[in-house]
Amino acid sequence: MPLLPTWFSAAAAGVTGLVVGSFLNVVAYRLPAGKSLASPGSSCPHCAAPIRAWDNIPVLSWLVLGGRCRSCRAPISWQYPVVELMTGGLFAAVGARFPWSPLEVALLVFVAAGVVIAVIDIRERVIPAKLVWGAGLPGLGLLVLASLTAGTPGRLGLALGGGAAAFGAFYLVWYLRPGGIGFGDVRLAALLGLFVGWLGPGELFVALFAACLTGAAVGVPLALIGGGGRRLAIPFGPFLMVGSLIGIFAGPQLVHLWLG
């Protein structure tokens, strides 16, 4: 039995998520541009003025400053507080659903990677391989630890099998229909299969089905509006992440509803 209550796990994860979300904004801006994530420190993209520590508090600083730089009063994108709030909320949800466990840490890694991947894919239409590997390698280690501590070593086989199955399915689509999806989506599907597959094949099926369903629900109308859709690039990474969240949090219920 955990020493601390579930609500404390959710609160601690949520606060951590706000801070992580602030860093994810840096990653989303600098990684596609090939810039260092460590230096220089945070600065205004308009006037290059260094951002002081008290102006770098997640969400709160943006609200206090009215969404503008303190030095030059240039507008600061709403992306910053939205990413911070989204990451904090998702971290809190994971902390509440899987409190005080190696699985919680593993899924926090997956969620953090998923948020920044979705932002970059929306803005740049690319999914950096560094982010997939950066989440997959430590995540695999955490899933091994989660399997051992839970006394369910077989779940590691489910995770590896899920990753392989999702990769194979999306690779087939990428190979047979060039231009339909990017290879970054294939890598991300494998990452999804690894983490969600650990929970079970039902959760993984729900995640992949939900990703395709939500992608079609948004993509088809946008393609029609765009004039046939063949030249309209619609990023699929965000839908893979939406599907994964549905599989993680509602997968068992949806599987039960389907079978019931």
Domains in the chain: boundaries:
1-99, 101-260
Q: What is the pLDDT of residues 144-164, one digit of tens each?
A: 999 999 999 999 999 999 999
Kindly state the percentage of the chain with pLDDT values over 90.
Answer: 77
Confidence of residue 229 (pLDDT cuts 50, 70, 90): very low
- Residue by residue, DSSP assigns the chain as --SS-HHHHHHHHHHHHHHHHHHHHHHHHHTTTT--SSSS--B-TTT-PBPPGGG-STTHHHHHTTTB-TTT--B--THHHHHHHHHHHHHHHHHHHSTTSHHHHHHHHHHHHHHHHHHHHHHHS---HHHHHHHHHHHHHHHHHHHHHTT-THHHHHHHHHHHHHHHHHHHHHHHSBTTB-HHHHHHHHHHHHHHHHH-HHHHHHHHHHHHHHHHHHHHHHHHHTTSSTT-----HHHHHHHHHHHHHHHHHHHHHHH-
Of 227 and 235, more confident: 235
pTM tops 0.85, yes or no: yes
Q: Residue 221's pLDDT is what?
A: 83
Residue 4 reports pLDDT greater than 60: yes
